[in-house]
């Protein structure tokens, strides 16, 4: 099989952050007529790893595929197009992808016309792309995070010409509007407001895989929110690697606080957002969150480390003191605020003392939930070049210790719900018991309770009877 390379990723180009204006495009779908015939009666299977950015990208890919008659299947064995949407943030995320391709590659022998595509953040790294090609000759399509909108053209070319196609451009990125989308949920939606990342934290691969920070036009975001409201959505989550940076690259005079306020006024029952970098969280944002009832009092505020020296080496642009002052301002101005975070243990040469500073910070802030990670070197990032004197055994021990500290706080916090009645947006039935429903409180606590399936997608009152570390048990308080 011939390999055609349209564009190949390049980490140096991926670092480029020139001031040149972002290009805004409206999605256009070429080959539509031919693809409508090719897609008729065929099925697609997409497996997405990674964060909400990837989940939202999957919804765009679904929109495009279904617009040319492909039908979704959850069984890869019967698919004519398979797409594995990858994450590169840590080594274990990449290992899962290697496993998945290993499982699916056999299908190319059975179905000679199968399009087996790999996209997402992993393929944006040239060295990983080399490994993938060497390991999996069965894969016949590679495309990057900036090529999602070309998916149909790429499938067409692979299908018609029977070639292996690589189209991955490392570029600053653009903003594409009016893409077709099939949302995976009909009462909760993700709304992108800003793409990419300019922070370049020294451990992180994301700025290389997702391009520069580029905001959508305010009016395009609001049109999307208005449409979601009209369709009856109960919850929207604004997405960005750093939502606080919204609008800084545009001359429209709108910041993230304006996005929140305008959306809140439209009356969607629940508004959330993720992620906020502590560095540019403004007082105005805090005021707006406090002011509107339908902006959830939940802030995901990744701290990464409790040591100012480690934070400096991570390139996080804030100190422990600055972070704690921000938390204090938030807690003072937003009653009932629930905070969650991300923490990395075992950054290169992290001392026991520095690690202890993370423990004391965690005890002080009292998070309601937290994602914890052992540092994973990412090739091409500055931190990966540092000689590390901490053993993996020490990192694992620290990781377990940190989780224990967090759990003490989380468990104590869960207890405070007992006896109270909370609004829960019902998500679905429990995997083990059809009579049990589950959903989330406004503060994002998972609640299980008995109820009828007809409540899925609705907001109901639930009285909390019992608490576990990561979930609550309750009963319906509505009639
Ligand atoms: N933009 C978001 C984070 C996206 S990545 C933010 O800045 O908050 C999600 C989390 O993965 C990060 O917050 C960090 O805790 C973790 N992470 C990123 N790179 C990592 C690495 N190399 N090793 C371990 N954890 C990492
Ligand atoms: Fe990665 Fe830092 Fe950007 Fe978050 S802010 S995506 S951790 S570089
Ligand atoms: Fe992973 Fe890419 Fe998201 S690396 S965390 S899928 S931005």
79-121 tens-digit pLDDT: 999 999 999 999 999 999 999 999 999 999 999 999 999 999 9
Listed in sequence order, the DSSP H helices in 301-435 are: 308-314, 320-333, 352-365, 392-415
**End-to-end Cα spacing for the chain:** 65
Coil, strand or helix: which one is 347? coil
The pLDDT assigned to 28 comes to 66
Contacts of 132 (CB under 8 A, 6+ apart): 101, 118, 122, 123, 139, 142
Select from 125, 171, 120, 178 the least CA-distant residue to 145: 120
Q: What is the pLDDT of residues 269-314, one digit of tens each?
A: 999 999 999 998 999 999 999 999 999 999 999 999 999 999 999 9
Indicate which residue's Cα is closest to atom 18 of ligand 1: 204
Cβ of 204 below 6 Å from ligand 2: yes
From 51, 54, 204, mutation site for ligand 2 pocket: most ligand atoms within 8 A of C-beta: 204
Alpha-carbon distance values, 101 to 82, 160, 373 (Å): 10, 23, 24
Select from 38, 28, 135, 148 the least CA-distant residue to 85: 148
Strand partners, 459: 425
Check whether 29 has a pLDDT greater than 60. Answer: no
CB contact at 8 A, 398 and 355: yes
Cβ of 305 below 6 Å from ligand 1: no
Phi, psi (5° rounding) for residue 10? -150, 120
CB contact at 8 A, 227 and 276: no
CA of 276 to the centre of ligand 2 (A): 10
Residue 434 banded pLDDT, cuts 50, 70, 90: confident
Strand pairing of 174-177 and 188-192?
unpaired
Q: Which of 17-26, 47-56, 210-219, 250-259 has the lowest mean pLDDT?
A: 17-26
From 206, 274, 310, 380, mutation site for ligand 2 pocket: most ligand atoms within 8 A of C-beta: 206
Average pLDDT of the residues in 327-341: 97
Phi, psi (5° rounding) for residue 212? -75, 165
Output b/e per residue, 72-103; b: 16+ Cβ within 10 A: ebeebeebbbbbbbbbbbbeebbeebbebbee
Cβ of 200 below 6 Å from ligand 2: yes
What's the chain's average pLDDT? Answer: 95
CA of 50 to the centre of ligand 3 (A): 5
Residue 251 banded pLDDT, cuts 50, 70, 90: confident
pTM of the model: 0.96
Check whether 172 has a pLDDT greater than 80. Answer: no
Which ligand has its closest atom nearest to the C-alpha of 380?
Answer: 1
- The C-alpha angle 201, 202, 203, rounded to 5 degrees, equals 95
Cβ of 89 below 6 Å from ligand 1: yes
Q: What is the pLDDT of residues 448-466, one digit of tens each?
A: 999 999 999 999 999 999 9
CA of 204 to the centre of ligand 1 (A): 6
Check whether 21 has a pLDDT greater than 80. Answer: no
Q: Which atom of ligand 3 is nearest to the CA of 122?
A: 4
The pLDDT assigned to 32 comes to 67
Q: Which atom of ligand 3 is nearest to the CA of 93?
A: 1
CA of 372 to the centre of ligand 3 (A): 16
Indicate which residue's Cα is closest to atom 4 of ligand 2: 241
Which ligand has its closest atom nearest to the C-alpha of 49?
Answer: 3
In this prediction, what percent of the chain has a pLDDT beyond 90?
90
CA of 197 to the centre of ligand 2 (A): 6
Q: Which atom of ligand 2 is nearest to the CA of 275?
A: 4
CA of 277 to the centre of ligand 2 (A): 8
Cβ of 277 below 6 Å from ligand 1: yes
Q: Which atom of ligand 3 is nearest to the CA of 86?
A: 6
Residue 173 banded pLDDT, cuts 50, 70, 90: confident
> Cα–Cα distance between 158 and 108 in angstroms, integer?
13
Check whether 31 has a pLDDT greater than 60. Answer: no
From 124, 194, 197, 303, mutation site for ligand 2 pocket: most ligand atoms within 8 A of C-beta: 197
Q: Which atom of ligand 2 is nearest to the CA of 342?
A: 7
Domains for the chain: give ranges and CATH numbers. 3-167 (3.40.50.12160), 175-415 (3.80.30.20), 421-476 (2.40.50.140)
């Amino acid at each position: 099989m011939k390999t055609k390379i349209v564009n190949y990723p390049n980490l140096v180009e991926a670092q480029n952050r020139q001031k040149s204006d972002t290009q805004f495009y409206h999605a256009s779908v070429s080959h539509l007529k031919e693809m409508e015939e090719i897609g008729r009666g065929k099925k697609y299977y997409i497996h997405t790893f990674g964060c909400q950015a990837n989940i939202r990208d999957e919804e765009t890919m679904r929109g495009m595929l279904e617009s040319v008659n492909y039908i979704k299947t959850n069984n890869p064995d019967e698919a004519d197009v398979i797409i594995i949407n990858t994450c590169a943030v840590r080594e274990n995320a990449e290992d899962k992808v290697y496993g998945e391709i290993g499982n699916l590659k056999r299908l190319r022998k059975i179905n000679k016309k199968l399009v087996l595509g790999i996209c997402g953040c992993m393929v944006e790294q040239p060295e990983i792309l080399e490994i993938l090609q060497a390991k999996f000759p069965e894969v016949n399509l590679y495309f990057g995070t900036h090529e999602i909108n070309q998916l149909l053209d790429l499938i067409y070319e692979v299908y018609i010409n029977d070639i292996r196609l690589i189209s991955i451009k490392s570029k600053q990125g653009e903003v594409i509007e009016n893409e077709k989308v099939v949302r995976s949920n009909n009462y909760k939606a993700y709304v992108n407001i800003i793409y990419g990342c300019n922070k370049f934290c020294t451990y992180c691969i994301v700025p290389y895989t997702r391009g520069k920070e580029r905001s959508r036009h305010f009016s395009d975001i609001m049109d999307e929110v208005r449409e979601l409201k009209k369709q009856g959505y109960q919850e929207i989550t604004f997405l960005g690697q750093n939502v606080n940076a919204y609008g800084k690259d545009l001359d429209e005079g709108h910041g993230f606080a304006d996005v929140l306020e305008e959306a809140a006024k439209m009356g969607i029952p629940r508004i959330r957002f993720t992620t906020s970098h502590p560095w540019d969280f403004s007082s105005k944002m805090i005021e707006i969150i406090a002011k509107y009832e339908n902006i959830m009092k939940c802030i995901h505020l990744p701290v990464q480390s409790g040591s100012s020296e480690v934070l400096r080496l991570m390139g996080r642009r804030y100190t422990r003191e600055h972070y704690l002052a921000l938390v204090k301002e938030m807690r003072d101005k937003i009653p009932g605020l629930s905070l969650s975070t991300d923490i990395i243990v075992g950054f290169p040469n992290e001392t026991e003392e520095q690690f202890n500073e993370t423990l004391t910070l965690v005890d002080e802030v009292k998070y309601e939930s937290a994602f914890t990670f052992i540092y994973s070197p990412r090739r091409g990032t500055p931190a990966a070049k540092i000689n590390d004197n901490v053993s993996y055994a020490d990192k694992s021990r620290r990781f377990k210790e940190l989780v224990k500290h967090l759990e003490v706080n989380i468990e104590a916090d869960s207890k405070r719900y007992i006896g109270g009645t909370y609004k829960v947006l019902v998500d679905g039935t429990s995997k083990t018991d059809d009579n049990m429903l589950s959903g989330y409180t406004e503060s994002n606590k998972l609640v299980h309770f008995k109820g009828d399936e007809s409540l899925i997608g609705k907001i109901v009152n639930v009285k909390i009877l019992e608490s576990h570390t990561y979930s609550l048990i309750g009963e319906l308080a509505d009639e």
